[in-house]
Amino acid sequence: MAATRRLANTVAVITISHPPVNALSSSVRHALVKEFGEASRDPKVEAIVLNGSGRKFSAGADIREFGTSAIKTVSLEDINSTIEASQKPVVAAIEGIALGGGLELALACHYRVADIQAKVGLPEVLIGILPAAGGTQRLPRLIGVPAALDVIVRGRHIPASEALKLGIVDEVVQGNALDAAIQLARKVIGYPLNKKRLSTVRISSDSNLEDFLDTAVEKAKKQFRGAKAPLACIEAVRASVHLSYHQGLEKERQLFFSLWATGQPQAQQYAFFSEREAGKWTHSSGARWDTEEAKPIRTAAVIGLGTMGRGIVISLSKAKIPVIAIEQDAQQLEVGKKAVNSLLEREAEKLKQQGSVPSSNLGSVHFTLDFGELQDVDLVIEAVYENMELKKEIFRKLSSVCKPDAFLCTNTSGLNVDEIASVTHRPNQVIGTHFFSPANIMRLLEVVRGQQTSLTAIATAMNLGKKLGKVAVLVGNCPLFVGNRMLGPYLEQASYLLEEGYYPEEVDQAMEEFGFAMGPFRMMDLAGLDVGWRSRTEKGLTGAKVPQGTPARQRLGSRYSPLADILCESGRFGQKTGRGWYQYEKPGGRTGKPDPWVKDFLQKYRKTHQIKQQPSNPEQIVERCAFALANEGFRILEDGIASCPEDIDVIYNNGYGWPKYRGGPMYYASSVGLPKVLDTLEKYYKANPDVPSMKPAFLLKKLAALGGPPIKEWRTQVGKPVNKL
Ligand SMILES: CC/C=C\CC(=O)SCCNC(=O)CCNC(=O)[C@H](O)C(C)(C)COP(=O)(O)OP(=O)(O)OC[C@H]1O[C@@H](n2cnc3c(N)ncnc32)[C@H](O)[C@@H]1OP(=O)(O)O
């Protein structure tokens, strides 16, 4: 049953019942109409309380219904209007969550009581739409335009205590929200309801409000580059200022349909469900997320307190896991300790502002130089710099010091997890946990399974990711895993574009206009050019190990761009040295400006190597870079390193600044059309046979030959997950 009704004296309690999150599906909406109608007509009923089963009010509209005929039956706003117009007082008892349509339903009620643990919000913007059941019209009438705009455009989940301050809820209780709502409902029987009907409230407009809305548009254009939903949200809120409630609703509806026509909601909703699917990992043995039990992690340790290690310590502490943090010498320990403590202070401050007690919400951190102290921890994460010998030395030590069932994780960004595991007595307990920098902020975690990694270790690492609030994706062990492996051909194309006549700022601008958080050159400057240079030097691609007589722009018979190496040889490592592809105000500076030195250097380089300049074409920049990414994605699928295209997209959306409203590189390839992607790559490869990364992947050809089936069908054509080195 989608909703039930019972009578508590003269108060009817209508309970939405649609596990797991009480989404307002068509059957729930029908049930609400029926139960609410009967309660309204029942002379024994003097007031009505709405709540949700399983201590969750509602997660809003059923996202799976968008784009289907089910969404057209009984509109949520019609239900909201009926509730608001009720002559009997209606109180929402909010436990757990009231999100999207869930909060819109609660806003139609005359009163709202929330449990202290509850969160409310209008997160529709995060799935590419806007609140379209009156939310953009009722919320500004309740809490004012500026506060409502912030809630709607950011889509954040607001804790009950803040919701009370904002005026979204009338009462917050520590105990049972349902009992409190029933009590309130009884108390207000017979009180006038007019002022409680939000659609009747008037918003007074003034020029400050107009300026405020105009500024919000400009800010949103910069902040959400290319995303249409935030702008539609602002327009809908603007309508609440100028139009009557009903005209505002019509505007809200029109904006919803025009957003749908852009294709962005479909991409963002694909991204939403792909994230949930990533947690449902499968293994070639047939084992799955729901057959394997994760071990509890009560204590953890982090080795290395560089940028990555510090972020990982904070993540663990925020998940209330006590951490032991280790460094190799006293001086580095002191530096790391200071940095961690200052980050922890910031976290504690945030908790205090939310009304929580930091000491009960943060795990303790103990700093030491002594590996002996790790003997009882449940899990260790090694986060030292990328050097195989150093990592092996640490894992040998860990293997002898840690208790036999402790899990040993490496935060390598691309080294061979099996080789690291091979030096331990427990390769089955070794697993890769590749965090992204800054690790306390970035949501992505690549969990890398080695040949011998046990299913329990996989389940435990995936579960830990969830506990840390991350989106964990299980991948196979191959050089650079998934995300960084795909970056190779992408950055290669970016460099070739510079050789062919573009400048870093032009390539970055094209990719940023496409929607990337950062273009490839800004990203390299931020990450540090020396990291890749060190790795290329070790591989003999640059430096003294390159055989005499090797052409400058060729390695092992393929095209090679030495541009980044030359920059590094001149000490240009990016932001950290104040010079890289851009120039910065100082070493460590963040604001990059185009550098005349780079322009001059590129012009001389092109002349020296007699490279013909291509006519400028921003579309070509995007195609070459984005298709290079997707092509490597197809190879990764062929190899079974990722088990489905959705996993690759989750990795790019959450770890590499890919615009979510384009779904991810694989979704993008699918939406552009696989035959077109194949054709573009084929043409490029024919003209550039010395660039093997652009040779169309076998799987791409296979899928294109099938006419480019929908992305959810690709899974049937890909290999079994394996480890490939
Ligand atoms: C006419 C338009 C009117 C209104 C517009 C809307 O209301 S749009 C919907 C707005 N609501 C949201 O965007 C909320 C989305 N959900 C979430 O943020 C989280 O799921 C939530 C509710 C905070 C719970 O998080 P948790 O980590 O506890 O669980 P998980 O995310 O794994 O979700 C559990 C399963 O529920 C499915 N689900 C969640 N929300 C919805 C939804 N609104 N519609 C349909 N399904 C939803 C989710 O996919 C999980 O299912 P599974 O089968 O396991 O994948």
Report the nearest atom of ligand 1 relative to the CA of 280.
54
Q: What pLDDT does residue 720 have?
A: 58
CATH number, domain at 565? 1.10.1040.10
In this structure, is residue 673 part of a structural domain?
Answer: no
Q: What pLDDT does residue 725 have?
A: 41
Whether 394 and 450 share a structural domain: yes
Stretch among 59-73, 266-280, 646-660 having the lowest mean pLDDT: 59-73
pTM of this structure: 0.95
In this structure, is residue 355 part of a structural domain?
Answer: yes
Last residue of a domain, one of 243, 262, 281: 262
Whether 236 and 120 share a structural domain: yes
Q: Which two tokens stand for residue 108?
A: 């139609």
**Dihedral sign of CA atoms 157, 159, 162, 167 in order:** positive
Contact 133 CB / ligand 1 (< 6 Å): yes
Whether 254 and 302 share a structural domain: no
Cα separation, 241 vs 243, in Å, equals 6
Cα separation, 136 vs 370, in Å, equals 57
Whether 539 and 442 share a structural domain: no
- Using the mean position of ligand 1's atoms as its centre, give its distance from the Cα of residue 265 in Å: 15
Contact 101 CB / ligand 1 (< 6 Å): yes
- Using the mean position of ligand 1's atoms as its centre, give its distance from the Cα of residue 611 in Å: 53
> Does pLDDT of 723 surpass 90?
no
In this structure, is residue 147 part of a structural domain?
Answer: yes
In this structure, is residue 256 part of a structural domain?
Answer: yes
Contact 259 CB / ligand 1 (< 6 Å): no
Report the nearest atom of ligand 1 relative to the CA of 126.
13
Q: Which two tokens stand for residue 375?
A: 């003997």
Alpha helices in 577-697 (DSSP H): 596-608, 618-638, 645-655, 665-672, 674-687
Confidence band of 433 (pLDDT split at 50, 70, 90)? very high
Over residues 314-329, mean pLDDT: 96
Q: Whose alpha carbon is nearest atom 40 of ligand 1?
A: 59
Q: Which residues contact 412 (CB under 8 A, 6 or more apart)?
A: 386, 391, 420, 432, 434, 448
- Using the mean position of ligand 1's atoms as its centre, give its distance from the Cα of residue 4 in Å: 21
Q: Which two tokens stand for residue 348?
A: 């504690």
**Dihedral sign of CA atoms 618, 620, 623, 629 in order:** negative
Cα separation, 556 vs 175, in Å, equals 69
Confidence band of 63 (pLDDT split at 50, 70, 90)? very high
As a whole number, the mean pLDDT across the chain is 95
Instruction: Report pLDDT digits (tens) over 619-653.
Output: 999 999 999 999 999 999 999 999 999 999 999 99
Instruction: Report pLDDT digits (tens) over 366-388.
Output: 999 999 999 999 999 999 999 99
Instruction: Report pLDDT digits (tens) over 244-272.
Output: 999 999 999 999 999 999 999 999 999 99
Last residue of a domain, one of 608, 627, 644: 608
Contacts from 702-707 at CB under 8 Å and sequence distance 24+? 703/634, 703/674, 704/674, 704/675, 704/677, 704/678, 707/675
- Using the mean position of ligand 1's atoms as its centre, give its distance from the Cα of residue 59 in Å: 6
Contact 135 CB / ligand 1 (< 6 Å): no
Percent of the chain with pLDDT over 70: 99
Q: What pLDDT does residue 340 have?
A: 96
Whether 468 and 548 share a structural domain: no
Stretch among 150-159, 615-624, 688-697 having the lowest mean pLDDT: 615-624
| 475, amino acid identity | V
> Does pLDDT of 722 surpass 60?
no
Contact 695, 617 (CB under 8 A): no
- Using the mean position of ligand 1's atoms as its centre, give its distance from the Cα of residue 431 in Å: 30
> Does pLDDT of 300 surpass 50?
yes
Instruction: Report pLDDT digits (tens) over 388-401.
Output: 999 999 999 999 99
Cα separation, 642 vs 632, in Å, equals 11
Q: What pLDDT does residue 163 have?
A: 97
Q: Which two tokens stand for residue 32?
A: 């609400």
In this structure, is residue 444 part of a structural domain?
Answer: yes
Confidence band of 285 (pLDDT split at 50, 70, 90)? confident
Whether ipTM exceeds 0.90: yes
Whether 437 and 508 share a structural domain: no
Report the nearest atom of ligand 1 relative to the CA of 273.
49
Contact 324 CB / ligand 1 (< 6 Å): no
- Using the mean position of ligand 1's atoms as its centre, give its distance from the Cα of residue 56 in Å: 12
**Widest distance between CA atoms in the chain:** 96
Q: What pLDDT does residue 204 have?
A: 81
Give me the DSSP letters along 345-357.
Answer: HHHHHHHHHTT--
Last residue of a domain, one of 608, 624, 643: 608
In this structure, is residue 87 part of a structural domain?
Answer: yes
Confidence band of 724 (pLDDT split at 50, 70, 90)? very low
In this structure, is residue 692 part of a structural domain?
Answer: no
> Active-site residues: which are they?
104, 124
Q: Whose alpha carbon is nearest atom 31 of ligand 1?
A: 276
Range of the domain at 551: 501-608
β-partners of residue 582 are: 594
Whether 450 and 541 share a structural domain: no
**Dihedral sign of CA atoms 328, 330, 331, 335 in order:** positive
Q: What pLDDT does residue 497 have?
A: 97
Contact 630 CB / ligand 1 (< 6 Å): no
Cα 562 to Cα 87, 170, 542, distances in angstroms: 76, 64, 8
In this structure, is residue 283 part of a structural domain?
Answer: no
Q: What pLDDT does residue 2 have?
A: 87
Q: Which two tokens stand for residue 707?
A: 């006419």
CATH number, domain at 106? 3.90.226.10
Count of beta carbons in the 10 Å neighbourhood of residue 90: 28
Contact 426, 404 (CB under 8 A): yes
Cα separation, 137 vs 199, in Å, equals 7
Contact 372 CB / ligand 1 (< 6 Å): no
Q: Which two tokens stand for residue 657?
A: 């600044």
Over residues 590-603, mean pLDDT: 97
Contact 447 CB / ligand 1 (< 6 Å): no
Report the nearest atom of ligand 1 relative to the CA of 127.
13
> Does pLDDT of 472 surpass 90?
yes
Whether 549 and 438 share a structural domain: no
Contact 43 CB / ligand 1 (< 6 Å): no
Contact 127 CB / ligand 1 (< 6 Å): yes
Q: Whose alpha carbon is nearest atom 19 of ligand 1?
A: 59
Report the nearest atom of ligand 1 relative to the CA of 277.
55
Contact 63 CB / ligand 1 (< 6 Å): yes
**Residue written as token pair 């190799």:** 328
Burial 158-170 (b: 16+ CB within 10 A, else e): bbbbbbbebebbb
Contact 130 CB / ligand 1 (< 6 Å): no
Stretch among 68-72, 297-301, 435-439, 681-685 having the lowest mean pLDDT: 68-72
> Does pLDDT of 427 surpass 50?
yes
Cα separation, 52 vs 522, in Å, equals 47
**Residue written as token pair 């057209």:** 72
**Count of domains in the chain?**
3
Whether 150 and 228 share a structural domain: yes
Q: What pLDDT does residue 356 have?
A: 76
Report the nearest atom of ligand 1 relative to the CA of 119.
23
CATH number, domain at 336? 3.40.50.720
Ligand 1 site-directed mutation target among 16, 25, 63, most atoms within 8 Å of CB = 63
Confidence band of 569 (pLDDT split at 50, 70, 90)? very high
Whether 306 and 198 share a structural domain: no
- Provide the 3-class DSSP secondary structure of residue 132: coil
Cα separation, 161 vs 167, in Å, equals 10
Q: What pLDDT does residue 207 have?
A: 80
135-143 and 229-242 are packed helices; what angle lies between their axes, rounded to 10 degrees? 60
- Using the mean position of ligand 1's atoms as its centre, give its distance from the Cα of residue 122 in Å: 12
Ligand 1 site-directed mutation target among 21, 104, 254, 276, most atoms within 8 Å of CB = 21
Contact 97 CB / ligand 1 (< 6 Å): yes
Instruction: Report pLDDT digits (tens) over 171-182.
Output: 999 989 999 999
β-partners of residue 115 are: 173
Pairing relationship of beta strands 90-94 and 47-52 according to DSSP bridges:
parallel
Whether 411 and 542 share a structural domain: no
Stretch among 110-114, 222-226, 459-463 having the lowest mean pLDDT: 222-226
Contact 124 CB / ligand 1 (< 6 Å): yes
> Does pLDDT of 7 surpass 60?
yes
Confidence band of 718 (pLDDT split at 50, 70, 90)? confident
Whether 440 and 534 share a structural domain: no
Closest CA to 458 of 646, 297, 292: 292
Residue 30, burial from CB neighbour count under 10 angstroms (0-12, 13-18, 19+) = middle
Q: Whose alpha carbon is nearest atom 4 of ligand 1?
A: 101
Over residues 558-583, mean pLDDT: 97
- Using the mean position of ligand 1's atoms as its centre, give its distance from the Cα of residue 311 in Å: 28
Contact 367, 330 (CB under 8 A): no
CA geometry: angle 119, 121, 122, nearest 5 deg: 160
- Using the mean position of ligand 1's atoms as its centre, give its distance from the Cα of residue 273 in Å: 9
- Using the mean position of ligand 1's atoms as its centre, give its distance from the Cα of residue 637 in Å: 28
- Please state the separation of Cα 645 from the chain's center in Å: 16
